[in-house]
Amino acid sequence: MTALALSGLDLLATAVVLVDRGLAVRYVNPAAENLFEISSKNVTGQALDKLFFESAVLTAAIGYARANNCSYTEHDLELGINGRPRLHLSCTVTPVELEHRGAQADALLLEFRLIEQQLRIAREQRMLEESRANRELIRNLAHEIKNPLGGIRGAAQLLDRELERPALHEYTQVIINEADRLQSLMDRLLTPHRMPQPARLSVHEVLERVRSLIAAEYPEGVVIHRDYDVSLPPVKGDKEQLIQAMLNVVRNAAQAVTGGAVPAPGKGEITLRTRVVRQVTLARRRHRHAIAVDVTDNGPGVPGELRERIFHPLVSGREGGSGLGLTLAQNFVNQHHGVISFESVPGDTTFTILLPADGDGNGK
């Protein structure tokens, strides 16, 4: 618990409401007075659920923070106050200790931030449209790739029969296997409306496959750390799609840490981290439990000019890059009702994939 001095909260730009053990309002800072159009004098002593008309979501957030004695953020909170239009907010609830007449008393600090709802809806709309345009483009591309692929595979098979040195079969087999892999990928791209073939599976299984593939591709220059949450619930998903999605993200990380100048051996680091997250809205559906997969690398970071467009098809910062890796990853993750996002500064880039946990029943 944090010991808290009330002075100082006055200066915060974030709206802060402090409630005591019995959930009566003890203090409201000026930013909160502004946000909710209330006066500290009038609401001090009032019960919180009178002030915000019984918000079940807020009550749940408070309950969670209390039960676990930890800070908890609710990202999707709507609050109505005094008959005004409902505000769309995020709220962080933190248990604190207050000095009160020389004694310590438990209290809760509520920090509210306004979510620009209009902005949010517009952004979601734009992303949906973009993703539709992406699919169209990908379909066309996939058609173009499929045709020569058949030729490549056929020629490799003929070549395979003619080869005399057995050791050379290994090479033709690589061509054939990779052609098959591409072929099945293209088939999947050509049916973008095909729903994933869902099976209950462990994300760790998926990550382990990806890890071994990348470790084989980059035997030097990359260290892959694992930080897995052993209590991670399973997801319902299409294993091949999820492997492809994660592989694309992890491969980008490997390229980022080894790319450019001669890599310093052992300096490139990638961390695969899994965590359970609670109470999130993914693709407009509310989930009690979701799974977060973070892929962190210590490479140079996502170039500034790409940030807005990184998930668009054919956007690449690498020479010879297809610019399809993240587009595909996003498509597959979206088909699983998940979202993918990233944060990046030089030396610290994290791509996060959020997927609903299996059995969550698209929770309330």
Ligand X SMILES: Nc1ncnc2c1ncn2[C@@H]1O[C@H](COP(=O)(O)OP(=O)(O)O)[C@@H](O)[C@H]1O
Q: How far is the CB of 294 from Mg ion (least distance, A)?
A: 18
Q: Is 325 in the site for ligand X (CB under 6 A)?
A: yes
- Answer whether 220's CB lies under 8 Å from 265's CB: yes
34-42, 105-113, 187-195, 311-319 -> range binding ligand X (CB under 6 A): 311-319
Q: How far is the CB of 312 from ligand X (least distance, A)?
A: 8
Residues 321-340, one symbol each (x = binds Mg ion by CB under 5 A, - = not), give ----x---------------
Q: Is 349 in the site for ligand X (CB under 6 A)?
A: yes
CA distances to 45, 53, 58 from 37, in Å = 17, 15, 19
**Closest-CA residue to 322 (of 330, 331, 313):** 313
Q: How far is the CB of 301 from ligand X (least distance, A)?
A: 6
**Which residues have CB under 8 Å from 302's CB, separation 6+?**
310, 317, 342, 344, 349
**Which residues have CB under 8 Å from 225's CB, separation 6+?**
269, 270, 271, 272
Query: Which is nearer to ligand X, 60 or 213 (by Cβ)?
Result: 213
Q: How far apart are CA 265 and CA 115, in angstroms?
A: 44
Size of the site for ligand X (CB under 6 A): 23
**Closest-CA residue to 229 (of 207, 250, 212):** 207
Of positions 29, 252, 274, 344, contacts Mg ion by CB under 5 A: 252
Q: Is 349 in the site for Mg ion (CB under 5 A)?
A: no
Residues 269-308, one symbol each (x = binds Mg ion by CB under 5 A, - = not), give ----------------------------------------
Q: How far apart are CA 28 and CA 10, in angstroms?
A: 9
The two three-digit tokens of residue 29, written as one number: 């800072």
CA distances to 25, 95, 179 from 330, in Å = 44, 37, 23
Q: How far apart are CA 166 and CA 139, in angstroms?
A: 39
Q: Is 252 in the site for ligand X (CB under 6 A)?
A: yes
Residue number, nearest CB to Mg ion: 325
How does DSSP classify residue 86?
A: P
79-87, 168-176, 274-282, 310-318 -> range binding ligand X (CB under 6 A): 310-318
Q: How far is the CB of 194 from ligand X (least distance, A)?
A: 22
Of positions 63, 198, 321, 359, contacts ligand X by CB under 6 A: 321
Contact residues: ligand X, CB under 6 A = 248, 252-253, 256, 297, 299, 301-303, 306, 310, 315-318, 321-327, 349
Contact residues: Mg ion, CB under 5 A = 252, 325
